[in-house]
Structure 1
Amino acid sequence: MKKSIQTMFIALAAFFITFMSMIPSPITISAAEVQIEAKSAILVDANTGKILYEKEADLALPPASMTKMMTEYLVLEAIEEGVISWTDTTRLSDYAYSLSANSGFSGYFLRQDRDYTVEQLYSAMAVNSDNATSVALAELVAGSEDNFVKMMNEKAQELGLPDAQFVNSTGLANSDLGGNHPPSTSADADNYLSAKSAALLAFHLINDFSTEDGSPLALEYSSLESYEMEGQTSDNWNEMLPGYERHGFEGMDGLKTGYTDMAGYCFTGTAEQNGRRLISVVMKTDSEDARFEETRKLLEYGFNQFEQKEIFPAGYQVEDLKTIPVNKGKEKEVAVATNEAITSVVPKGEEITFTPSYKIDDSLLNKDGELTAPLKKGDVVGTLTYEYSGDQYGYIDEQFADQASVELVVQDDVEKANWFTLIFRAIGDFFVDLFTSVVGWFKGLF
């Protein structure tokens, strides 16, 4: 009987081990294992600016209609500044009309004898990548496309896109414009943008302009699955919007596709899941489907393999900086700690060592490294940041690296000591120093 029980136990244990081995283990994909079939690519966490993946991301390439992200930016800026409004109207110039009438370009075949509102033109540009409406908006904002191109390049420098070169508002190569290129540019010039700059431009387009409820204004238009003008309905070129059957992706709501012979198939995408937003860029892929398939790889990698993690909590104290000495205070030192938590996006499941690093504002310290009373609870005396072993790519722009820090603040009020206390303390310090000197003198004798 005892032997049969042992046999049964062994059989059950073998079955359990076999069953457990059949349960698939979580798959962890490293950046090295993400094979993106594109000339250039990047993936960025839109909340922190941290780069999660990049492949030749600084290589400047023709961005095709992704150029229109800058056109959209300047139009939204002009609206915000009151230069134009959504309800303002304009008509197509001869050049803009020629683009609309050309079946080889994205367009609605608009009429030249009709007024169109800014919102109509912007919607057509955002949804159908309409070239005629891009030119019409550029001419409305700046008086001419040539002036608008100058604004595009100035804004590129302001936003920190050093590799950007804009030669028109549409993203078409100047050689395709039949001599209608902006006069300040050459007939064979093309727009250029790196994947990193495209992602940074997308970040600003998403974050710099908001609706009344605080949501990104640009995404209100880029998320439209279709738009109708002049009785013609055009579907959004972004086939990763959730309503699309083949490539639909959860949370996708922008941003801009592009294609020319020189650029190949490009796409700047953005999606939000569970409160996290990612921005992806792929440039020079081989086909229309490929730009979406490669984007899906990037986004799935970002959402599945990374998490937002609290690195240091609010109230954290650095081991060798829990207090700072105070000059002329009722207390001789004061505690300092972080005023809020530090969070970061890190790979899931990795054992990462985070090393805190602090910087005290030297202008607040005297020659002896002391703060001077009086002090108020919450006074900022420095910053805390961190480094960690898994930081592979850094940030899309230095501004984000600077933001990856929190303030170190005083934890208590420290009143200034009265004159009697200061005199008594000075006398005490005098005798302490005197005693120390005497002891040192005697030690020197032996």
Structure 2
Amino acid sequence: MKKVTRRWLSVLMVPMMLLMTIGIHTPAANAESSLGIHVDGAILIDADSGKVLYEENADKALGIASMTKMMTEYLMFEALEEGTISWDQEYRVNGYTYAVSQDRRLSNVPLRRDGTYTIRELYEAVAIYSANAATIAIAETIAGTEAEFIKLMNAKAEELGLTDYKFVNSTGLNNNDLQGMHPSGTGEKDENVMPARSVAKLAYHLLQDYPEVLETTKISKKVFREGTEDAINMDNWNFMLPGLVYEYPGVDGLKTGTTEFAGHCFTGTATRADKRVIAVVMNAVDTKGVGSYQARFDATRALFDYGFSQFTETELLPAGHQFKKQKTLGVIKGKEKKVGIATKEPVSMLIRNSEKKEYEPELVLDKKLVKDGKVQAPLKKGTVIGHVKLVKKDGSDLGFIDGETAGTEVVTTEEVKKAGWFSLTMGAIGDFFASAWKSSTGFVKGLFD
């Protein structure tokens, strides 16, 4: 069975820049959700289609900490694709990146003063070890300065349709950790923020556009500059990877994040059979309101379990499906007066078990081609005249992360040639007399009313 998910309804998202309240963020002991997790925000989506499977306070802007690095990674892959940078391109350490790299309170690989490092080395340090100075180095390589890189981050966020975001640096650190060298135009105590929905959308596009990121994020341990005196062990902060303390089958990414402001956050992705999901948890705490690595991974585990156990890829419409109330369209200027219409491909979607009967098809005709229920000849077989979308009867469906709907094209099932001149003329004459007869009979009838 072929899986088809079309993006028919595009939602134009206008970014809103937020002003962050300055102060210490105290993790809140949220009321237990239906999944038994305690978070400030969470969301679970199908990584293939973007179908939202679960959400909890997903539209409130919250601190994202090092989950920010997914945007830096996206822009890095894009620059590599465009050829503006290369994997073996070397970055020379400056005073800013050197100073940040020496702060071992932060996640870092120490960089040598005036040393040089390839983009590949820096990227591996970012994706595996969440190295902050290495992240800044990549940002500077792409844009010249981190301040200019932030402009690229904001532009890409708008392009991807993210909402309620605020980027003040490339790393997700609090600016106060950047030793007074934070990007110009940003506040000393500012920190990046975004809602869980936007974080999930960023992760969704990263995996859709650059799935090769998983080849690195799945590495649980690696030695930076192995075989040199600068060698340092890099242990992946994603403790749900195989062989690590909170191992979960199928996990191969994506990005953790922890700061005092943001709390313990995680964007995780895992596969089971042919199904991949993306989970985002923000400021995860335990039952006592205390944030920890375990709290964020326990919350993610609950989301993964829910997605894999409660949802199944289900065919909702077969190819060639015809609509009971409209199996045909009228044809103008055609040799045939009607033409059959049907779905082009099957429609499948990740839905909760036993909810197949809860969805019904809705035909949406292309208003530019179909007017008053008629379409003009000539028509080839397979001409697209609209699309179908699946609608949940009770309106409780959570939709898609990109505002799309599950559906497929609706096409004509046969060819209809344009009628010849004689046929069109006779048809016009027939229509004239039919109209005249209708008018006359109506007139006569009116005399006796």
TM category, shorter: 0.7 to 0.9
Deviation, 1:96, is: 0.8
Structure 2 CA distance for aligned equivalents of residues 302 and 69 of structure 1? 23
Structure 2 CA distance for aligned equivalents of residues 267 and 89 of structure 1? 30
Compare the two structures and name the one with the higher helix fraction: 1
Matched, 1:247 2:246: yes
Equivalent residue number for residue 312 of structure 1: 317
Equivalent residue number for residue 275 of structure 1: 274
Counterpart residue identity of residue 326, structure 2: L
Deviation, 1:442, is: 5.3
Matched, 1:302 2:304: no
Equivalent residue number for residue 132 of structure 2: 131
Contact 1:352–1:389 (Cα < 8 Å) also in 2: no
Equivalent residue number for residue 6 of structure 1: none
Aligned with residue 334 of structure 1, among 339, 343, 362? 339
Structure 2 CA distance for aligned equivalents of residues 351 and 322 of structure 1? 22
**How many residues were matched structurally?**
406
Deviation, 1:141, is: 0.7
Residue 164 to residue 374, structure 1, CA distance change in 2 (3 Å) = same
Write the deviation string for residues 28-70 of structure 1: whole angstroms up to 9, x where unpaired. xxx9631211121111112222211111111111111111111
Deviation, 1:263, is: 1.4
Equivalent residue number for residue 292 of structure 2: 287
Deviation, 1:257, is: 0.5
The 5 A counterparts of 1:359-398 are 359-365=364-370, 369-389=373-393, 392=396, 394-398=398-402
Contact 1:352–1:390 (Cα < 8 Å) also in 2: no
Structure 2 CA distance for aligned equivalents of residues 101 and 405 of structure 1? 52
Counterpart residue identity of residue 59, structure 1: K
Equivalent residue number for residue 348 of structure 2: 343
Structure 2 CA distance for aligned equivalents of residues 343 and 412 of structure 1? 25
Contact 2:122–2:138 (Cα < 8 Å) also in 1: yes
Write the deviation string for residues 368-405 of structure 1: whole angstroms up to 9, x where unpaired. 5421111100111111112113653523544423xx22
Structure ID, larger Rg: 1
Structure 1 CA distance for aligned equivalents of residues 261 and 206 of structure 2? 25
Equivalent residue number for residue 151 of structure 1: 152
**2:93 counterpart SS class:** coil
**1:257 counterpart SS class:** strand
Structure 2 CA distance for aligned equivalents of residues 56 and 371 of structure 1? 45
Residue 32 to residue 358, structure 1, CA distance change in 2 (3 Å) = farther
Residue 393 to residue 258, structure 1, CA distance change in 2 (3 Å) = farther
Contact 2:163–2:195 (Cα < 8 Å) also in 1: no
Deviation, 1:441, is: 4.9
Contact 2:361–2:389 (Cα < 8 Å) also in 1: yes
Structure 1 CA distance for aligned equivalents of residues 125 and 187 of structure 2? 28
Counterpart residue identity of residue 426, structure 2: F
Matched, 1:98 2:99: yes
Equivalent residue number for residue 15 of structure 2: none
Structure 2 CA distance for aligned equivalents of residues 231 and 137 of structure 1? 20
**1:344 counterpart SS class:** strand
The 5 A counterparts of 1:84-95 are 84-95=85-96
Deviation, 1:248, is: 1.2
Computed over aligned residues only, the root mean square deviation of the Cα atoms, in angstroms, reads 1.9
Equivalent residue number for residue 216 of structure 2: 221
Structure 1 CA distance for aligned equivalents of residues 100 and 132 of structure 2? 7
Deviation, 1:247, is: 1.4
Deviation, 1:224, is: 1.0
Unaligned 5+ runs, structure 1 = 1-30, 210-215
Equivalent residue number for residue 257 of structure 1: 256
Equivalent residue number for residue 428 of structure 2: 426
Aligned with residue 322 of structure 1, among 324, 327, 334? 327
Structure 1 CA distance for aligned equivalents of residues 428 and 55 of structure 2? 61
Write the deviation string for residues 146-183 of structure 1: whole angstroms up to 9, x where unpaired. 11112112211221222111111111101122211111
Structure 2 CA distance for aligned equivalents of residues 53 and 365 of structure 1? 37
Deviation, 1:421, is: 2.3
| Greater relative contact order (CA < 8 Å, ≥ 6 in sequence) | 2
Equivalent residue number for residue 266 of structure 1: 265
Counterpart residue identity of residue 217, structure 2: S
Further displaced range: 147-156 or 295-304: 147-156
TM-score by length of 1: 0.86
Counterpart residue identity of residue 271, structure 1: A
Structure 2 CA distance for aligned equivalents of residues 372 and 384 of structure 1? 21
Structure 1 CA distance for aligned equivalents of residues 117 and 305 of structure 2? 40
Structure 1 CA distance for aligned equivalents of residues 436 and 160 of structure 2? 61
Structure 2 CA distance for aligned equivalents of residues 315 and 139 of structure 1? 53
Further displaced range: 169-178 or 350-359: 350-359
Residue 351 to residue 341, structure 1, CA distance change in 2 (3 Å) = closer
Contact 2:119–2:138 (Cα < 8 Å) also in 1: yes
Structure 2 CA distance for aligned equivalents of residues 238 and 273 of structure 1? 18
Write the deviation string for residues 339-394 of structure 1: whole angstroms up to 9, x where unpaired. 1112222111246332221222222245x542111110011111111211365352
Further displaced range: 140-149 or 104-113: 104-113
Write the deviation string for residues 323-348 of structure 1: whole angstroms up to 9, x where unpaired. 11111111111101111112222111
The 5 A counterparts of 1:201-216 are 201-209=202-210, 216=211
Equivalent residue number for residue 4 of structure 2: none
Write the deviation string for residues 71-115 of structure 1: whole angstroms up to 9, x where unpaired. 111111111111101111112211111121111111122222432
Structure 2 CA distance for aligned equivalents of residues 337 and 392 of structure 1? 27
Report percent identity of matched pairs: 46
Structure 1 CA distance for aligned equivalents of residues 368 and 40 of structure 2? 48
Residue 196 to residue 333, structure 1, CA distance change in 2 (3 Å) = same
**2:123 counterpart SS class:** helix
Counterpart residue identity of residue 269, structure 2: T
Aligned with residue 411 of structure 2, among 409, 412, 424? 409
Write the deviation string for residues 289-314 of structure 1: whole angstroms up to 9, x where unpaired. 11111100001100100111111111
Contact 2:109–2:134 (Cα < 8 Å) also in 1: no
Equivalent residue number for residue 180 of structure 2: 179
Equivalent residue number for residue 16 of structure 2: none
Counterpart residue identity of residue 47, structure 1: D
